Chains A and B, each alone.
Chain A
Amino acid sequence: MAEYTMVAALNAALREAMANDPRALVFGEDVGELGGVFRVTDGLQRDFGRDRVFNTPIAEAGIAGICVGLCLAGWRPIAEMQFDGFSYPALDQVISHIAKYRYRTRGHAEMPIVIRIPSFGGIRGKEHHGESPETYYVHTAGLKVVVPSGALDAYRLLSLAIADPDPVIFLEPKSRYWAKEQGDLAIDGPRIGRAWVRREGGSCSVVAYGAMVSRCLEAADGLVGEGIQCRVVDLRSLVPLDLETLGESVRRTGRVVVVHEAPRTLGMGAEIAARIMEEAFDYLEAPVIRVTGYDVPYPPAALEQRYLPSVERISAAVRRAVSY
């Protein structure tokens, strides 16, 4: 069985998409010879040429904006924003155009765009290199938003995102880029819009995405000794949200803890708590508990582990839910 880092798995997904679809283009800052600052596009320019894999000027609004024109010309853009914190200049093009173009044109102009954004914290990054931008995109109708938690699913989700007819914001958890996972790269498996139950358990559901999934699994392992069995749900897809799996989790466990790196206010936890009440309120045996980043700017490296949900904070929340 092969072993992959998330970077290698993402690279393989891009490589196959480029080989299979002659209309696919990869572009962004430093994606050419360098292979991107995280090397996700390593070797693509060499293998697919400078026409289809190209560096852009430092112009995030421009990168997002040319995606629209390229789609109108029949291309399939796969763009990279260098970092979460540098993706904000592109928000106007994403919100005002990429998300709305299909609607505005009554379905005549589709926007099969993927925007990859290395995101989230945990790598001792400088300011602007550890942000959780998902809510901006989740709140923007017309987009899909996905977040892989490991290498194999990153391959699957990116392959599916590139094939998707709608624009997909693809948030890559930087702190998992170099984590290895054993297995085979395959597109078969859960589609975009489906969550993935990573661990079964009847005591409490723990819902997370991205880098927080591995922390939740670690917390779940540690709680076994206390007689607590967690059902760990990896959302993978923030839009569409898998309401069916969320509802089923509540019905099975009656208790839910939601974990994310993003600040608490109006984070995914708020949405998930509300959806859970709408889907399965009668099955709840405890309030939904959120374990999140705090409502502060993302902190410097020396403080980031105090900001990020830790295994201890997650475990404590599960204990509270179970003992409620």
Chain B
Amino acid sequence: MSTHENPQDHALVQLIAPDGTPAGDTDVGLKPDELRDLLRMMILARRLDRECMALQRQGELTVYPPFEGQEAAQVGSAYALEPEDFVFPSFRELAAGVVRGVDVVKYLQYHRGIWHGGAYEPLANRFAPICVPVATQIVHAVGWAMGAKLDGLRACSLAYFGDGSASEGDFHEAANLAGVFRAPAVLFCQNNAWAISVRLEEQTAGPIFKRAEGYGFPGVRVDGNDVLAVYAVTKAAADRARAGDGPTLIEAMTYRMGPHSTADDATRYRSSDEVNAWRKRDPIDRYLTYLLAAGVAEEAFVADCEDEAKEWVADIRTAITSVGPPPADELFAFAYADPPEALERDRRSVEESGDG
């Protein structure tokens, strides 16, 4: 039986306990300013996530899938990557995008209904377009990794997906291909306990990370609310991939504090007791407590981060709310590099009608 509530049942990599005390060797090779940067990124990400929820409620975004609770899983893993690595997100990885330097306003154009996939440049950011069909992006990540390996690049791909995605055939095909081709890919599962309203026990009967053995590569389960542990296991997996030793499956045990999306009502399927229990495992509180106790950060730094976040999201709000619809000719502009004549006729007729 797969259990999400008692992840300690299985080998769980944890460096900081939920109360903020060290639970393992916390020297993961990061300098003090980098350790502080992890906290800063999580604070920025959470503030942004809450602002996006507000923007949606105010009608400025269409539907928004919040990631609150998963900041450590996303920030810790994305922070472990190098600029030449390539990230393949699903649709809830805005925090990872922030770490990768993706233009947030261009990203949010997806959620504003301006452009599918976001308006950022995936190749420039090495961050693939937002991907909604569940698990399909894992295969793309493996394909990219196969290509990088053929080129002899010292780089890896990282695919984000959820516990629900691991039930899809594409997860299996991607993992199997990654194993067969020893692709430099990191398959990063954020097991957040819920696939919309379906709990983990209804999704799968065994631990997801253990499936890696069947594909011929290592699998590791990490406390997804422990940013240092997530960083450490992802760094190890990415280093391993870049060194030519093949893929790794990481299962980060975390929790989706909010609804699946703004269109969801999580109170219909889960108790407030459960949510409150996970509030006590909050990734930011935990890391903050650790950093303060370790003397790496002071309260003043935290206050600075909060101020920066406040100003940053205000700027994002101003920018995203002023983004209007794209010009009408973009209806046709990108469908083909070399468009069929019949489509060109349609494009001209729209132009002539002035419907734009």
Query: How many angstroms between the C-alpha atoms of A116 and B116 in the bound complex?
Result: 28
Residues of B within 8 A of A93 (CB): 136, 139, 170
Q: Is B81 an interface residue (CB 8 A)?
A: no
Contact of A68 with B143 at beta-carbon distance under 8 Å, contacts A166-B336, A243-B341 already known: yes
In the complex, the answer to whether A65 meets B129 with C-beta atoms within 8 Å is: no
Residues of B within 8 A of A100 (CB): 116
| Binary A-proximity of B165-186 (CB < 8 A = 1, otherwise 0) | 0000110011011001000000
The count of chain B contact residues (Cβ–Cβ below 8 Å) is: 45
Residues of A within 8 A of B337 (CB): 102, 107, 110, 165-166
Interface residue stretch chosen among A53-61, A178-186, A222-230, A311-319: A53-61
Residues of A within 8 A of B330 (CB): 106
Query: How many angstroms between the C-alpha atoms of A62 and B121 in the bound complex?
Result: 25
* A193-209 CB contacts (< 8 Å) to partner B: 193
Give chain A nearest CB distance to B178 CB in angstroms: 10
Residues of A within 8 A of B177 (CB): 56-57, 59, 62, 66
Q: Is A69 an interface residue (CB 8 A)?
A: yes
Q: Is A103 an interface residue (CB 8 A)?
A: yes
Give chain B nearest CB distance to A52 CB in angstroms: 8
Q: Is B64 an interface residue (CB 8 A)?
A: no
* B134-173 CB contacts (< 8 Å) to partner A: 136, 139-148, 150-151, 157, 169-170, 173
Query: How many angstroms between the C-alpha atoms of A299 and B335 in the bound complex?
Result: 37
Q: Is B133 an interface residue (CB 8 A)?
A: yes
Contact of A69 with B340 at beta-carbon distance under 8 Å, contacts A57-B176, A92-B136, A141-B335 already known: no
- The residue of chain A having its C-beta at the shortest distance from the C-beta of B337 within the complex is A165
Residues of B within 8 A of A141 (CB): 335
Q: Which of B86, B133, B146, B148 has the most CB of A within 10 A?
A: B146
Q: Is B333 an interface residue (CB 8 A)?
A: yes
Q: Is A26 an interface residue (CB 8 A)?
A: no
Residues of B within 8 A of A33 (CB): none
In the complex, the answer to whether A240 meets B342 with C-beta atoms within 8 Å is: yes
In the complex, the answer to whether A73 meets B144 with C-beta atoms within 8 Å is: yes
Query: How many angstroms between the C-alpha atoms of A89 and B173 in the bound complex?
Result: 11
Query: How many angstroms between the C-alpha atoms of A70 and B144 in the bound complex?
Result: 5
Q: Is A67 an interface residue (CB 8 A)?
A: yes
Residues of B within 8 A of A110 (CB): 337
Which of these, B142, B148, B170, B334, contacts A106 with CB under 8 Å? B334
Q: Which of A102, A106, A164, A244 has the most CB of B within 10 A?
A: A106
Query: How many angstroms between the C-alpha atoms of A63 and B169 in the bound complex?
Result: 13
Q: Is B123 an interface residue (CB 8 A)?
A: yes
In the complex, the answer to whether A92 meets B133 with C-beta atoms within 8 Å is: yes
Query: How many angstroms between the C-alpha atoms of A108 and B124 in the bound complex?
Result: 9
- The residue of chain A having its C-beta at the shortest distance from the C-beta of B179 within the complex is A57
Give chain B nearest CB distance to A247 CB in angstroms: 12
| Binary B-proximity of A46-85 (CB < 8 A = 1, otherwise 0) | 0000011000110101100111111011110000000000
Q: Is B278 an interface residue (CB 8 A)?
A: no
Residues of A within 8 A of B342 (CB): 240-241, 243
Q: Is B338 an interface residue (CB 8 A)?
A: yes
Q: Is A109 an interface residue (CB 8 A)?
A: yes
Residues of B within 8 A of A52 (CB): 150
In the complex, the answer to whether B136 meets A96 with C-beta atoms within 8 Å is: yes
The count of chain A contact residues (Cβ–Cβ below 8 Å) is: 46
Residues of A within 8 A of B133 (CB): 92, 96-97
Residues of B within 8 A of A166 (CB): 336-338
Give chain A nearest CB distance to B139 CB in angstroms: 3
Residues of B within 8 A of A243 (CB): 341-342
Residues of B within 8 A of A92 (CB): 133, 136, 170
Contact of A142 with B336 at beta-carbon distance under 8 Å, contacts A65-B170, A241-B342 already known: yes
Residues of B within 8 A of A62 (CB): 139, 142, 170, 173-174, 176-177
Q: Is A105 an interface residue (CB 8 A)?
A: yes
Give chain B nearest CB distance to A64 CB in angstroms: 8
In the complex, the answer to whether A69 meets B151 with C-beta atoms within 8 Å is: no
Which of these, A75, A107, A164, contacts B333 with CB under 8 Å? A107
* B313-339 CB contacts (< 8 Å) to partner A: 330, 333-338
Residues of A within 8 A of B334 (CB): 102-103, 105-107
Query: How many angstroms between the C-alpha atoms of A75 and B343 in the bound complex?
Result: 28
Contact of A61 with B147 at beta-carbon distance under 8 Å, contacts A104-B117, A108-B121 already known: no
In the complex, the answer to whether A73 meets B143 with C-beta atoms within 8 Å is: yes
Residues of B within 8 A of A142 (CB): 335-336
Q: Is B122 an interface residue (CB 8 A)?
A: yes
* B174-216 CB contacts (< 8 Å) to partner A: 174, 176-177, 180
Query: How many angstroms between the C-alpha atoms of A154 and B6 in the bound complex?
Result: 60
Which of these, A57, A109, A241, contacts B122 with CB under 8 Å? A109
Q: Is B80 an interface residue (CB 8 A)?
A: no
Which of these, A89, A106, A241, contacts B119 with CB under 8 Å? A106
In the complex, the answer to whether B86 meets A72 with C-beta atoms within 8 Å is: yes
In the complex, the answer to whether B123 meets A108 with C-beta atoms within 8 Å is: yes
Give chain B nearest CB distance to A99 CB in angstroms: 9
Which of these, A66, A72, A144, contacts B123 with CB under 8 Å? A72
Query: How many angstroms between the C-alpha atoms of A89 and B139 in the bound complex?
Result: 13
Query: How many angstroms between the C-alpha atoms of A127 and B257 in the bound complex?
Result: 49
- The residue of chain A having its C-beta at the shortest distance from the C-beta of B115 within the complex is A106
Contact of A72 with B335 at beta-carbon distance under 8 Å, contacts A65-B136, A89-B169, A93-B136 already known: no
Residues of A within 8 A of B284 (CB): none
Task: Show 30 residue pairs from A and B whose CB-CB distance is below 8 angstroms, ordered by the A residue.
Answer: A57-B177, A61-B170, A62-B142, A65-B174, A66-B177, A68-B143, A69-B88, A69-B142, A69-B145, A70-B143, A70-B146, A72-B128, A73-B146, A73-B150, A74-B151, A93-B139, A96-B133, A96-B136, A97-B136, A101-B129, A103-B335, A104-B129, A106-B115, A106-B334, A107-B333, A108-B124, A166-B336, A240-B342, A243-B341, A243-B342
The 5 nearest A-B residue pairs measured at CB = A69-B143, A65-B139, A73-B147, A66-B143, A240-B340
> A-contacting residues of B (Cβ < 8 Å)?
86, 88, 115-117, 119, 121-124, 128-129, 133, 136, 139-148, 150-151, 157, 169-170, 173-174, 176-177, 180, 330, 333-338, 340-343
4 further A-B pairs in the complex, CB-CB below 8 A; given A62-B176, A96-B133, A103-B334: A61-B170, A72-B86, A73-B147, A75-B147
